[in-house]
Chains A and B, each alone.
Chain A
């Protein structure tokens, strides 16, 4: 073997060694920093996964994180609740989180806050799953398959610790500088929407809905939905699906995705409480932060309404 070849191979091996060392060493530092977070979205995820002793868990996207006030629920229903809502996350995420959660705990009731277009194809739904990466090392069997649906080589990248903690440093710094209060997963919004904002947003939303006209249902999402319902049923945990109040005029009641969700509800005997056009909430526009999120006052009011209905299942 000529000497140049030997040199290149040797140097190459040393370089790879340096890469692995950096990834491992600095990666551990990244992991350590990640788990020092005492507030923020990753902290809330940790609370859901580890040591969760709540009787009532609320799953959903950002709507759920802003709409359900555990303080109100706790006092009205005499339970210990936790809001596991996560911004931008759809059913694949919810299913995964449910699986992890149910490994270690057994709540009495699960609320699944539904967005009507959850079953429609969505790139974001897959992309946002990247928030699960930092927890992969704890739950590889559950998280790996979900991450691999869209990108088969995620498995390959996940061996790098740096990659596992990719895109987390800014959150760590942000929550360090501006800690969020720990309200059992609830994230309050304080703005009160003005009528002008309402108009503008509805215009934008109509355009978006028009663009959504030809959308198809993603079978992967539908299966994930079934799985979610069936898993709960297997473990004999009650599930209630809820549609929270929504000011978007363009949200069609007859959209395919919502219809399918309702069908699945009937099929598995899971009740669906539909507050989308709840007259009391819609009458009080001051409860809204924007066309599809309630503010703090709205969340409290809504939680009272929901609590009254939930008494039957607890």
Chain B
């Protein structure tokens, strides 16, 4: 079930209504059942993997709580890490690893590995694995106690609004809310906020992401035919496509949860208005960057710091920071998928961050910094979108050597990019207003609820009038 499928339009209101009608104390059961149902709409068999993962992590956490002896705790932690990451790597990356070994060692592995082993990654595995690992680490570090209620924990892993593509939640934020679902009462603020987030999410997805995708896919599907200007324009469009697609999805997820009174982490905060790449990572895919910072960067950084015991000079700190940052972003790239281009994308971001700490920019010219940062990020999107390093280098080379002319498709296909640009303009105007003029011209935050409802109604009309309805998947499902 995709968020933009007809089924979800029926599924969600039904679940919300049932949620408020269900006796408080078994709300968790309703949510768990509907979450499993939601997930099984993809491929019923895959639920086994989730249940297995849930079981392992549930038990591990209980044992971590029970056994305070350091050696034992470490053992449980490592066992759990091996199993969780092992499953993730096995399902997602087996194909890539085989190819990589083949490329690097020139050893023909492919013939040894039967096709059946190239599984299609169970959807959502990258997300719920991290969310579960976060929980295990929280228990290990003593941030919270293990969740004793298996049903609540199972729900934490499988909660339908966020299981497929995040936001990746924290055990300290989500588990208490799920435990207290019995206290949630129907109130119009939650309903309105939820609907507002969902409407905005659909606008981003159907009007901007899907439209832009048509043109971007057309150009990338025919790479040798275009000139530099087209590539440049396409990457700009792509930057909006990926943003709208993912932010739209997240908005629908957060809004869906909000309808039932749950508060889920914000995932995007007008990322292209960042003055530095460092700031970008506090505004883009916030749940992931926060997770990496707290569970990868920090422990690694302090481990390195201990290695350089007495030397606490700025230079050593900087070196530690650089090494850890680079490794973290390398992993970030790798998490996105089994492709060299993702790795390179991650590494470039790592390098950007290191350089930014080396050469601090003039903070006073914010607008210029925003533009510069945007261009730096555009460059990385070339790699992110390209299917191979060869394609990425080809694009970069052509942008600087053969400008050519802008590709404008035939007759009716010219429609797609123009709609995309129209949608992007609406998005930019909205975000510029939110970023710089937040107190003026409030439509959706207006005090008068009728003004607000009219604003929502207008957006819904625009979605129906300008959106793409021929069915296409959210991009981030591939992760």
* A binding-site residues for B, Cβ under 8 Å: 4-5, 7-8, 11-12, 14-15, 18-19, 21-23, 26-27, 30, 41, 87-88, 127, 130, 151, 153, 156-157, 160, 162-163, 165-167, 169-171, 174
Contact = CB atoms under 8 A, between A and B. Distances in A.
Contacts of B188: 4, 7-8, 11
B460 A19 contact: yes
Nearest to A156: B6
A23 B461 contact: yes
B191 interface: yes
B456 A30 contact: no
Given A15-B457, A41-B412, A153-B6, A30 B465 contact: yes
Return the 3 tightest CB-CB contacts between A and B, nearest first. A162-B464, A18-B457, A162-B465
A174 B414 contact: yes
B465 A169 contact: yes
Contacts of B6: 153, 156
A23 B460 CA distance: 9
Contacts of A23: 460-461, 464
Contacts of A151: 471
B411 A8 contact: no
Contacts of A157: 469
A313 B57 CA distance: 78
- Most B CB atoms within 10 A — which of A18, A88, A169? A18
Interface in B1-51: 6
A260 B415 CA distance: 35
B449 interface: yes
A26 B449 contact: no
B264 to A, nearest CB: 21
A14 B456 CA distance: 12
A4 B187 contact: yes
A150 to B, nearest CB: 9
Interface in B77-117: none
B453 interface: yes
Contact of A165 (B195, B450, B465): B465
Given A27-B461, A165-B465, 18 more contacts: A4-B187, A4-B188, A11-B188, A18-B456, A19-B461, A22-B461, A26-B465, A87-B411, A88-B412, A130-B469, A162-B461, A167-B419, A170-B414, A170-B415, A170-B419, A170-B422, A171-B415, A174-B414
A27 B412 CA distance: 22
12 contacts: A8-B188, A11-B188, A15-B457, A18-B456, A19-B457, A23-B464, A26-B465, A151-B471, A163-B464, A163-B465, A167-B468, A171-B415
Contacts of A4: 185-188
B370 interface: no
B445 to A, nearest CB: 17
B109 to A, nearest CB: 28
B467 interface: yes
B456 A15 contact: yes
A5 B412 CA distance: 48
Contacts, number: 82
A18 B461 CA distance: 10
B416 to A, nearest CB: 9
A198 B414 CA distance: 24
A30 B464 CA distance: 12
A234 B457 CA distance: 49
B405 to A, nearest CB: 14
B470 interface: yes
Given A4-B187, A157-B469, A166-B465, A18 B411 contact: no
Contact of A8 (B191, B449, B467): B191
Given A8-B186, A14-B453, A169-B466, A26 B412 contact: no
A61 B454 CA distance: 42
Contacts of A5: 186
A237 to B, nearest CB: 29
A30 B191 CA distance: 30
A15 B452 CA distance: 10
B457 A22 contact: yes
Contact of B461 (A15, A26, A156): A26
B458 interface: yes
B223 interface: no
A5 to B, nearest CB: 6
A295 to B, nearest CB: 14
B11 to A, nearest CB: 14
A259 to B, nearest CB: 30
Nearest to A200: B225
A88 B413 CA distance: 11
A161 to B, nearest CB: 8
B415 A166 contact: no
A166 B461 contact: no
A166 B456 CA distance: 18
Contacts of B466: 166-167, 169
Nearest to B418: A170
Nearest to B465: A162
Contacts of B464: 23, 160, 162-163, 166
Contacts of A156: 6
Contacts of B411: 41, 87
Nearest to B417: A170
Contacts of B422: 170
Contact of B454 (A12, A18, A30, A160): A18
Interface string B405-445: 00000111011001100100000000000000000000000
A245 B28 CA distance: 66
A156 B6 CA distance: 10
Interface string B180-196: 00000111100110010
Among B192, B410, B453, B456: residue with most chain A CB under 10 A: B453
A76 to B, nearest CB: 28
Nearest to B464: A162
Nearest to A88: B412
A163 B469 contact: yes
B458 A22 contact: yes
